[in-house]
Chains A and B, each alone.
Chain A
């Protein structure tokens, strides 16, 4: 077996996998603006009653006594996902019922007793807790001039770990949003535009697609099906997740698995055997998929992957750019060094865009790291 990590990882992955058909997924870091008003902050002080340590977001419940009111009111403090928090060393018992805390957070737009916690501290020590480092969680600082690209005996770059070598995965995308190269439109890491009037500059959208995109932005991305319905991060989106991904090259069978740290153990298969990107005749050939159907080939040191056959049941990027079943992605993966993966994508979708357009970014190798286990809903039960 040329690729011995394959069986081990797939065995783990198969515990919850719904191959390609995407029975749930998602890392679910949606724009919090949909639920909370980030233009305001509120302060709370009270006693922890319960810590709910479940994806997509952890919650701390606390009793808050309000002046002039005899009984305490229970508030919910929403935090990042347990996966993210655990990566930074926090645990479900970091706070316990009875602990007194102070919270600074963004209030809920619907005026309910919920806040997004931006600063949670224990009164006893004054220490800040449950702070997720997110994009500042630097894995490796390298440049493309760093350690050389690992290669298979035949000279092709290895996209993942080589047999017998240390495990690792790709994470820390340099961009977590999609916009046409050169557009340089300001948006946050979830794809929410700083100025909605810039929407038409993000990509060459048809009028209806621009209308849908603007509507999603105006609604603060609250309809994101990856968050609302645990839909898979298909298309470009799988390369925008901080939770990363892993390539497993099954060279004997001429296929490459892309395992997602963000998709409930979903994985995508890139076929390298020269087949056409279609389904099985009489089987699923008319069934579009969340990850589409992918075929790959090597062009020098770059893996070129063509993918078609996407369904329309998901957002293919953070920020909600629309797509149709005509979506055709041409992705180019170049491991420029041991620690850097260059990702380039050409987007063709005559159903939603007026012309072909491109974008690209890099990801970093987390050598020795293990792909995070993430389930959209509750990974503890």
Chain B
């Protein structure tokens, strides 16, 4: 919740282009490997989505991200490492809520070999 609390009160910049583009801050609940807070940065080059989860020293490159306009379904896959250095494959599935709002959200679930839980991130 720390990341979320940092963003409270900050202005949200409108983004009327590709709906996934931008920075998203939220939680992947019960994630014992990378903590509850999550930050995603995604971009769109006209053909595919690229991006990073938790930019920084232990960032996770997004290997695959898709957006299906039919229902605004989001699918994200990324390979990371466990605290012990083992392989960890994340899969996030959700839908975009409040598509036309600046603070639209991706709401769904995350899962990996280490567990699963609720995922929710809001665009900043």
Contact = CB atoms under 8 A, between A and B. Distances in A.
Nearest to A324: B17
Interface of A: 206-208, 210-212, 215-216, 219, 223, 225, 229, 231, 312-315, 322-326, 350-352
Given A324-B44, A350-B46, A351-B44, A315 B69 contact: no
Contacts of A223: 100-101
Interface of B: 13-19, 21, 44-46, 67, 69-70, 72, 99-101
Nearest to A207: B69
A23 to B, nearest CB: 13
A355 to B, nearest CB: 12
**Contact residues of B: prevailing secondary structure:** loop
Contacts of B46: 206, 324, 326, 350-352
A120 B100 CA distance: 34
B1 to A, nearest CB: 28
B73 to A, nearest CB: 11
Nearest to A323: B17
B100 A219 contact: yes
Contact of A313 (B13, B69, B100): B13
A315 B100 CA distance: 12
Contacts of A313: 13-16
Most buried by A among B17, B19, B72, B101: B17
Contacts of A216: 100
B14 A225 contact: yes
B51 to A, nearest CB: 15
A210 B69 contact: yes
Given A215-B99, A219-B100, A324-B44, A208 B19 contact: yes
A314 B16 contact: yes
Contacts of B69: 207-208, 210-212
Given A208-B67, A351-B44, A312 B17 contact: yes
